Amino acid sequence: MAVRAASGIRPLGLDTMVRLQRGRRSPGAPRRLTVPDGMTVPLGCDAVAVPAELGQQVLPRLPRVGCVYADEVRWWWIVPSDSDYALEWPAPAWYATGAVVPDAPVLPGLIYRPDDAVPYTPPIPLYLALCRLTNTTPTWSRSVTA
């Protein structure tokens, strides 16, 4: 039995609205950060994104900085693949497997490039700097309860 609105127009069901919303998204190829020419990624490539204000505070705290990309909202740090293994990156950091930049109309631009041929920022110093700035206890220092 169909229910009709007072206007005589049949309202859309939830299934129909979900199908229409999914149809609006264009499933294009994922947009990835690419390392500059001449650089190698022997360990694969992921990225850690942080809000731009936080990125400016992280930069001077690192002993080595790899490729860093930025847009108006976030800074993106290139790290080796699987740098999220056994780590919970502190909020508001966001871990991007494969260095995929979601929903970006334009890819972030390169703002820092190291002198050598490796694009990585070491993930542990980056993680610790983010923990300190966000007042988060590192994963390995948290209490374990049974």
pLDDT digits (tens, 9 = 90+) for 79-92: 999 999 988 999 99
> What percent of the chain has a predicted confidence (pLDDT) above 90?
65
pLDDT computed for residue 63 by the predictor: 95
- Token pair, residue 40, equals 């190698």
Position 19 pLDDT exceeds 90: no
Q: Which residue has the tokens 């390995």?
A: 140
Nearest-angstrom CA–CA distance, 2 and 12: 11
Q: How far is CA 77 from the centre of its chain?
A: 9
128 contacts 87 by C-beta, under 8 angstroms: no
41 contacts 35 by C-beta, under 8 angstroms: yes
Strand segments, DSSP code E, in the chain are 46-51, 68-70, 74-79, 94-96, 109-112
pLDDT computed for residue 111 by the predictor: 97
Kindly report the average pLDDT of the chain as a whole number. 86
| Amino acid sitting at position 23 | G
pLDDT digits (tens, 9 = 90+) for 54-112: 999 999 999 999 999 999 899 999 999 999 998 899 999 999 999 999 877 789 999 99
Lowest mean pLDDT among 15-19, 58-62, 126-130, 141-145: 15-19
pLDDT computed for residue 139 by the predictor: 83
Given strand 109-112, what is the order of strands in its sheet? 94-96, 46-51, 74-79, 68-70, 109-112
In sequence order, what DSSP letters do the residues of 62-85 get, joined into one string?
A: -SS---EEE-SSEEEEEE-TTTTT
Position 39 pLDDT exceeds 90: yes
Q: Which residue has the tokens 């293994």?
A: 85
Nearest-angstrom CA–CA distance, 53 and 46: 21
pLDDT computed for residue 25 by the predictor: 47
